[in-house]
Amino acid sequence: MCGRFAQVIEDKEIRALKRELDAEIGNIQTEISFNVAPTNTVMAIVSQKGRRYDGYFRWGLVPSWMKEIPKSPMINVRAETIAEKPSFKASFRRRRGILPINGFFEWRAPEKTPFYIHPAEGELLYVAVIYDVWEDDQGSYLPSLGLITTEANSQMKEIHHRMPALLMPEDFGLWLDEKNEDPQLILPLLKPAKGGLLSMHEVSREVNKVANNHASLLLPI
């Protein structure tokens, strides 16, 4: 499960995206958030006809075939069932993206202590996502995405049994190739993060409240 994350895409992060993903990023400053919550708008990198660029999506997948927006947003998608479940399999084959984040929050049971998990080195983590575009009868449309989760690695298991599926630079080309619809080639990318990729520390319980959104939420206590 991943229920909150930080997405602060400023000049340094934009340079990293252009360099590491070879993506076209708009010059307009994206909306930054230190405490992204479900249904918020986030930026993800997608690919169409070989062109990689930034798109903006509601966090909480709404498949295009649904008659209405579900009351409970589908924020996370399990890697183990993504290729079979009707809600996800079409997007998994044809509409994959990469969500750049600074880090994510997870809560350790039973005391629900919040932790911030972030790159041990570098500026960003790259989360595998799927997306779709839902349209109502009046012609209004809603792009949305869901984060893919997988089994936690040994480090994350100290806090939670699930974690986001994080992509490495060598995975970007295959994952973003919209012509590749073979689950046997794509599924192996959705694995627990390798050791040494992440660092983590306990943070303030202020992060529990969605209205709190400031840089100090990421600091260790």
Report the sign of the C-alpha dihedral through residues 190, 192, 198, 201, in that order.
positive
Give the Cβ contact number of residue 136 at 10 Å.
11
Token pair of 72 as six digits: 């409970």
Biggest CA-to-CA distance, the chain: 49
* Bridge partners of residue 149, in order along the sequence: 78, 164
DSSP string, 147-174: EEEEE--TTGGGT-SEEE-BPPGGGHHH
Catalytic residue among 106, 121, 135, 170: 106
Collapsing DSSP to helix, strand or coil, 72 comes out as coil
User: Is 106 a residue of the active site?
Assistant: yes
- Smallest CA-to-CA distance from 131 within 150, 106, 148, 108 is with 148
CA distance 36 to 7: 7
In whole angstroms, give the CA distance from residue 132 to residue 108: 32
Q: Cα–Cα distances in Å, from 120 out to 17, 84, 147?
A: 18, 34, 21
For 29, the token pair is 């400053």
Q: How far is CA 167 from the centre of its chain?
A: 10
Which residues are designated catalytic?
2, 106
